[in-house]
Amino acid sequence: MKVIAERGRLYLHGTFPRKDGQPGNAQYKITLQMEDNFSNQRKAAKQLTRAKNLLKRGEWDWNEWLINTGRTPGQEQGAETWRAAIKVLYKRKVLLGRCREESWHTNYMGTLKLMPQAQKVTTASMKEELERYSRDQYTYKKLYGLLKHIADITGQPFPEVGIPLYDRATTIYEIPDDQYIIEWVLSSPEPYRWFFGMMATYGLRPHECDECRLVYDENQKLWLAQVDDDTKTRYRTVIPLDETWHDLFNLSDRRVRPKSSRDPNRRDGTSVWLNKQRIKMGIDYKPYMLRHAYASRLWREGGSELPLDNAADLMGHSVKEHLQTYRRWIDPNLIAASSMDAISRNRAKKLEAAEKMLKNQSKEVNA
């Protein structure tokens, strides 16, 4: 099986189960409904991998791959049940959209798999699923958006329910201070210590610890963590904060997470593994708080001298994400102090410029 291009369009070509349901296989060319360009070639590669996996598991369903003809507006043919509708949603968001495979499994399927898979999607059943959660919960907001898509796929009217009230910008959490972090990391047994230490020192996401590499200068004094381009935010280089933590946590002695039976497509394997250990140790904070603490430390150390886009690049996300998600973890007193410092420096610059201008004017008069 392979992806082929004909007349500027992309297709899957290979051996598949017979369309008429008869025993045996036959050669088919399946249109992917995409133009032949670089971006779509990557999407087509995803579809090729998925097709191979479906055939290997014996789960091939032609309804997912044929162009639907004669369907009513807003309805995907053969997608009446929750299971079928979720498959179509996966196709739209992952295979044809921008959602990454690991993001789908980590962020969406954990909620969608709780739906009554074999039952038919109805307005009443969508309402029932939403009413399991409070409107101010994040899960309600996430499911609300997913069910909007499910309603469109199945042609069912979306239920009359309240709009989500969750707003992460108003949700305040406490982050650990540096002394707590040091005690947390040093009290952790290996290999957990190395992973906690990398998150604390470099602000990495849990799964990025598996994939990063450390780079030193010729004097073995500069440590940079490089995150490869197959991660969520592509390639980036990260600096250590606090620099002394690299040696304190012995991060040069790289450790490897034990193999797991969890789905390899899910990126939360490392996070789950670390979270179980912190619960066992009685740590009050989730591992991701180490990353939030790094963001706070970045602001504290860099202050107004550190451009916002640089801080966002170090964290591995957009400026908008940095403002919405990470600035709120920073102690307001730090922001106020840094702002006062910036204002003082700006006033000093203005005063220096004014004195220089007066000095020049005085020289002109005397001349």
Side-chain-facing half-sphere of 146: CA atoms under 13 Å? 28
User: Which of 281-290, 294-303, 323-332 is predicted with the least confidence, judged by mean pLDDT?
Assistant: 323-332
pLDDT of residue 318: 78
Q: What is the mean pLDDT of residues 162-182?
A: 79
Mean pLDDT of 225-231: 64
213-216: strand order across its sheet: 213-216, 223-227, 236-238
Backbone angles phi, psi at 21, to 5 degrees: 85, 0
Of residues 222 and 154, the one with the higher pLDDT is 154
* Per-residue confidence (pLDDT) for residue 132, from 0 to 100: 92
The predicted structure's pLDDT at residue 131: 93
Domain ranges in the chain? 1-68, 77-166, 178-330, 334-367
The pLDDT assigned to 338 comes to 57
The CATH classification of domain 178-330, taken from the options 2.60.40.4070, 3.30.800.10, 3.40.640.10, 1.10.443.30: 1.10.443.30
What's the CA angle centered on 138, arms 277 and 281, to 5 degrees?
15
Span 264-268, mean pLDDT? 64
Q: Residue 293 above 80 pLDDT? A: yes
168 vs 360, residue with greater confidence: 360
Specify the residue for token string 């996070």.
271
Nearest alpha carbon to residue 147 among 134, 128, 166? 128
Output the CA–CA distances (angstroms, integers) from residue 7 to 44, 66, 90, 202, in the order listed.
16, 19, 27, 48
pLDDT tens for each residue of 313-348: 888 877 777 776 666 555 555 555 555 666 777 788
Residue 109 pLDDT greater than 70, yes or no: yes
